[in-house]
């Protein structure tokens, strides 16, 4: 799974200072839960975990098998490398290997917490981004299509520059052999679906939309989430760069978003999605058949 080197250039920061990590960083070398919670939320603990994400960033760049690549990336996270990175970036925290060992008794303990933290960082960053996009939709006084394309353009850039998304890809690839990673991923996707639901609600409220009969909001959010991540993979490989089109930036994600809302939103006909599709395509097939095309019964 080769990722385009050019997509990683530029500063990328993680801001997880507002997250309570007591339920995420749970493999710390403390017996009492209150002591684990205090240590989980310390600046030095966060710095160790952020340094690990920073160290993996240049490594997500090749390998024939994604699961094997994930193991290689995680194996790169040695204690001296992590401590050295923190010493470079946060000298005021006075990081030492002794302080690292005081937190995690073994390397596997650290890796378990690191995987959970990376996924939480991913969810936190996306939730913040979605809140920003939702606010922009509320303030936007232009047309629906332009608003969706602008949000999609920002979403495309967000995916292409987010470290935690690249780690999520590798963690997902290795989850079959790691029950803890699989459980962390399950919680991540539940949280991401809820985050996308917030954006959906803003779109519905801003433009006064109503879904077609039988279509559930949760389904729309899952589709939007899956589209964003799937197209994010193509962006990381250097494909599907946003293209200018008139006054707007055109993205594949924007086109997909417009197609989804155009088909799933009730325009006043009261039809379900299936009924709407049958009506649209039956009419098209009949028109084509009348013009000398293939008879509908032969399709």
* pLDDT per position as a tens digit, 3-45: 333 333 333 345 565 789 999 999 999 999 999 999 999 999 9
What is d(CA 210, CA 27) in angstroms, rounded to the nearest whole number?
46
Better pLDDT: 66 or 223:
223
Which residues lie below 8 Å from residue 166, measured CB to CB, with a gap of 6+? Answer: 3, 57, 60, 236
Average of per-residue pLDDT values in the chain: 79
Tokens of 100: 């690292």
Tell me if the pTM is above 0.85: no
Give the largest Cα separation in the chain, rounded.
80
pLDDT tops 50 at residue 63: no
Better pLDDT: 43 or 200:
43
Tokens of 206: 């801003």
Tokens of 287: 């028109």
Q: What percent of the chain has pLDDT over 70?
A: 76
Spatial contact of 103 and 43, defined as CB atoms under 8 Å apart: no
pLDDT mean over 257-285: 89
pLDDT tops 60 at residue 68: no
| Angle (deg, nearest 10), helices 107-139 and 43-56 | 90
- The total number of residues shown for the chain amounts to 299
Which residues lie below 8 Å from residue 32, measured CB to CB, with a gap of 6+? Answer: none
Tokens of 139: 């303030």
Spatial contact of 163 and 53, defined as CB atoms under 8 Å apart: yes
Determine which of 37-41, 107-111, 281-285, 293-297 has the lowest per-residue pLDDT on average. Answer: 293-297
The class (CATH top level) of 5-275 is mainly alpha
Confidence at residue 12, expressed as pLDDT on a 0 to 100 scale: 37
The structure tokens 């433009």 sit at 207
What is d(CA 186, CA 180) in angstroms, rounded to the nearest whole number?
10
What is d(CA 212, CA 188) in angstroms, rounded to the nearest whole number?
28
């Amino acid at each position: 799974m080769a990722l385009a080197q050019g997509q990683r250039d530029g500063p990328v920061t993680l801001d997880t200072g507002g997250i309570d990590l007591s339920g995420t960083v749970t493999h710390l070398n403390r017996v009492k839960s209150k002591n684990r919670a205090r240590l989980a939320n310390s600046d030095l603990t966060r710095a160790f975990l952020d340094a690990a994400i920073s160290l993996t960033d240049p490594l997500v760049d090749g390998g024939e098998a994604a699961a094997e690549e994930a193991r290689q990336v995680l194996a790169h996270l040695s204690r001296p490398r992590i401590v050295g990175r923190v010493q470079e970036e946060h000298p005021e925290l006075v990081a030492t290997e002794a302080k690292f060992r005081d937190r995690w008794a073994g390397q596997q303990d650290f890796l378990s917490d690191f995987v959970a933290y990376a996924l939480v960082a991913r969810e936190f960053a996306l939730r913040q981004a979605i809140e920003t996009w939702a606010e922009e939709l509320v303030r936007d006084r232009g047309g629906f299509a332009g608003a969706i394309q602008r949000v999609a353009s920002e979403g495309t850039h967000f995916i292409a520059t987010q470290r935690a998304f690249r780690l999520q890809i590798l963690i997902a690839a290795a989850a079959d052999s790691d029950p803890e990673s699989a459980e962390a991923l399950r919680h991540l996707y539940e949280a991401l679906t809820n985050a996308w639901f917030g954006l959906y609600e803003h779109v519905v409220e801003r433009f006064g939309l109503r879904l077609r009969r039988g279509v559930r909001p949760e389904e729309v959010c899952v589709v939007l989430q899956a589209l964003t991540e799937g197209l994010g993979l193509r962006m990381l490989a250097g494909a599907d760069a946003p293209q200018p089109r008139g006054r707007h930036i055109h993205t594949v994600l924007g086109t997909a978003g417009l197609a989804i809302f155009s088909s799933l939103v009730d325009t006043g006909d009261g039809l379900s999605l299936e009924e709407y599709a049958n009506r649209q395509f039956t009419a098209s097939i009949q028109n084509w058949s009348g013009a000398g095309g293939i008879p509908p019964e032969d399709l």
